[in-house]
Structure 1
C-alpha cells in the first residue's frame, strides 16, 4: 500500500505543485511585486481568468490517475469560487428603476466611433441623471452636445472628458492629474443634496516585451486620489475609464483613504467586464461611490465604441 501511495504521489506531483502554485497566486496576488514589468498589476487585472487554468490541471490529474493531484486541484477551484463566486450568484436586478434616487453612466465613447449620434442616444435612453463620456474629440464632441442637450441641459467638458447632467452643475474645474486634459470635477445639485462628481480617463496601459507599461497610469491614479482627498467631503462619484480593475493596487489610493467603493462589487451582478466590447475580458470602466447606498450596477448594451457603457444606481 505504501508503495502505491508513493507511486500515486510521483505520478501527480507536478500537477499538484502547479495547482498549489495557482492557488497561491490567487490568494497572494497583492504581494506579487511590480518589478520587473509591473507583473503584479497585470496579474491583478486578469485575476478572474486564472480560473481557466483549473480545467487543464484537472484533466492532467485524471490522465495521471493521481488522487493527490485531484485533491490539489480542488484548492485553486475553491479559492476562485471564494473570490468570484459571490459576484456570479448575486441577484442584483438592473436597472433598478424607481427604487433608485440617482443613476450614473460612464462610457469611453472611442475617439474613432463611427456613430456618435447613435451612441449619445443610447446613453440618454438609459434614463441616467448623470452621464460621463471619455474620448470626446471633434467633430464628435459637438454631436454629443447636440443630441444630449434636450434631456441634459447642464454640461461641462474639459479636453476629452465631459459630464452631462439633469441637475445644475456648480464648482466645475479641470483636474491637473496628467499632462493631457482628461479629468474634471463638478458638483451636481440634486434635489436630495449636492454630489461631487469626478470624471477621469487615466492613461492607457499596454503589454509589451518590457512588461506591463502602467507607470503613467499609476502616477495619474495617485494624483487623482490626492484631488479626491482634498476635494469636497460627503457624497461623491468617480466616473470614468481608469484603465484598471479595482483589484489592481494602482487604484488602491483611490479606494483607501478616500472612502470610495466600486459600485460593481457592492451591487453588481456578475463580473461586469467592459472591455473590449466584442469580447470583454476586464472591467476597466469604473463607477466608484462614497456617501450613497448602491442599489444596482450593470453594463449597458454595446454601442459603436470598443468599450461597453457601465451604469450604477443609488439611494441617498
Structure 2
C-alpha cells in the first residue's frame, strides 16, 4: 500500500507546488512548466502494482484523477455560440503554409478579431498577401504580431516587449456600441530546457525577463478601462504565478470557462500555451482547431457580454 499512497501524495504535491509557488523557485518552476502528461504517466506504476496485488486500487485511481485534473485534461464545459468570435494563432512565419493559404483558412472561421503571432513572413509582400485573402478585414502590425478585425477601429497603441525584440499591440475597437480593447502578445519563453545542460543562469534570466513582460501587460490592463481581451502565444502553461497574474489583470481564461479536453495548442509537447482571456465578457466556447498549418494550433473563442 506504500506505493499508491506515495503516488497520491506526489501527484498532489506536484500540482500544489507548480500552481502556487510556481515561478518563484527553480524546482517549482520546472513543475509548473513540465509537460502535463508526465504527471499522468507517473501514476501508472501504482496502478500496475495494485492490479497485481489486489489492494490500494482506490488510492491509485485517486492519484490518477488528481494528476489528470492537475494536467488540465478534465475540461468538459458546455459549448454555445457567442456573438463575438476571436481566434489566436501562431503561424510560424508561414513556414508550413503560404500567406494566401493561411488567409483563406482564417477567413473560413468568420472571426471578428484575428490575433496572429510570428506573422513576419519570409517575403516582404507576405502580410499584404495574407490581408488580401481576408477581404473586409483591417490589419494592424507591431513587430511580428498582427491583429486583423472587421470591427470599427478606434485606436492603436504599441509597446516594446521588455528583454525581447517583440512588441505588444493594443487595438481599441467598437463592438455592440462599446469600446473593446484587444491586446495581442507573444511573450518570451522561459528556457527550462537549459536545466538539462546545467545552465541555470539562463533559466533565471529568461524567467526574470518573463516577469518584466507580465508587468507590462498588467500595466496595460490597468490603463485600459472597460471590456478587454488578451490573446496570443503567451508561452505560459495554465498554472503558476504568471498565469494567475494574467487572469487577475485580464479576466478568466476562455478555455477554463468554456473549453473541453486539455486544449493543447502546442502539439509537439502537448502543452496549452496559447490563451484568450477576457474582462467583462462571458466565454461561450473555446475550441482548438486541428490544423497543420503551423507548429501551433489556432484557438477559436466566442464571447457574449
Could you state the TM-score of these two structures normalised by the residue count of structure 2?
A: 0.85
Larger Rg: 1
* Unpaired stretches in structure 1, ≥5 consecutive residues: 1-11
CA distance in 1 between partners of 2:236 and 2:280 (Å): 23
Q: 1:76 aligns to what SS in structure 2? A: helix
**2:187 is the alignment partner of 1:202:** yes
The 5 Å alignment of 1:39-188 reads 39-46=27-34, 48-49=36-37, 50-63=39-52, 65=53, 67=55, 69-80=56-67, 83=70, 87-92=74-79, 96=81, 100-111=82-93, 113-116=95-98, 117-140=100-123, 142-149=125-132, 150-178=134-162, 179-188=164-173
Q: 1:107 Cα deviation (Å)?
A: 0.7
Post-superposition CA distance 1:127-177 (Å, at most 9, x none)? 101111111224456334333345343221011111001012222011233
Q: 1:227 aligned to 220, 223, 226, which one?
A: 220
CA distance in 2 between partners of 1:33 and 1:87 (Å): 21
Post-superposition CA distance 1:243-294 (Å, at most 9, x none)? 00231322322212x2521001111111211003xx4511111111111121
Q: 1:274 to 1:310 in 2, by over 3 A?
A: same
Could you state the TM-score of these two structures normalised by the residue count of structure 1?
A: 0.82
1:41 and 1:249 in contact (8 A); partners too: no
Moved over 6 A (4+): none
Match for residue 228 of structure 2?
236
Q: 1:71 Cα deviation (Å)?
A: 4.3
2:116 and 2:232 in contact (8 A); partners too: yes
Post-superposition CA distance 1:159-205 (Å, at most 9, x none)? 11110010122220112332413311111122442210000000123
CA distance in 1 between partners of 2:96 and 2:35 (Å): 33
RMSD, matched Cα = 2.6
